[in-house]
Amino acid sequence: MGVPLPLAHFRIREGFQILLRQLLSEERLTPTGATSIIAGMPPVVAVVLSLALIWGCTSTPVQNAADLGEVEALRGALHELTVAYERGDAQALSSYLAPTFKEVDQFRQKIDADIKSYPGRHLSLAAQRIWIRENEATVTLRWDGNWTPTPPQPSVRLTGTADFLFIKEKGGRFQLGEIQGENPFGRQL
């Protein structure tokens, strides 16, 4: 828990791929050259290296069921936040804010201004990294938004990145504690 799941796996896999490239480059990248490198090693080293290369080249990170459940809960919270914002339901959006959310009144005012100024709002969120700790989680994401005002004004499209800091309640539900970076909600364009 405490280690970013996708990045830890990627770094290990990348290290083994670099090692393989270095080994193969010594023998001109030929399959027979790779065989001769392994054949020249002590059997224990060859077996360990082979197993490490196989393990390092897998395509999915190893995760436990508790982490997967929390990742799904975070995805659900992000989805509900987005849907509430797009529908213009400020009350539903506020229900996902933790009591410790910083500047909550200012945040709500910005959202109300967006709802009044832009009847059409669409957000796409893409999580890049999820870091789960004991009772909190950080989701680093990229967002893409399209805000459509009343005609004849043209719609506005923006993109950005943000860290959403979530706090886990006793029931396992995640609430938004803070947004660091470019906040996609309450843009007041």
pLDDT tens-digit readout, 133-163: 989 999 999 999 999 998 888 899 999 999 9
Check residues 14 and 167 and name the one with the higher pLDDT: 167
Residues 6+ apart with CB under 8 A from 176: 77, 81, 96, 97, 98, 101, 164, 165, 166, 167
Say if CB 14 and CB 55 are below 8 A apart. Answer: no
Q: Alpha carbon 107 to chain centroid distance? A: 23
Say if CB 119 and CB 87 are below 8 A apart. Answer: no
Question: What is the per-residue pLDDT for 184?
Answer: 93
Q: What is the pLDDT of residues 54-98, one digit of tens each?
A: 655 544 454 566 678 899 999 999 999 999 999 999 899 999 999
DSSP assignment of 78-115 equals HHHHHHHHHHT-HHHHHTTB-TT-TTHHHHHHHHHHHH
Residues 6+ apart with CB under 8 A from 42: none
Edge to edge, the sheet with strand 120-132 lists: 120-132, 136-148, 156-168, 174-181
Say if CB 13 and CB 57 are below 8 A apart. Answer: yes
Does the pLDDT at position 108 exceed 60? yes
- Ordered by where they begin, the domains of the chain are 5-56 (no CATH), 65-181 (3.10.450.50)
Say if CB 168 and CB 177 are below 8 A apart. Answer: no
What number is the average pLDDT over the span 27-34? 46
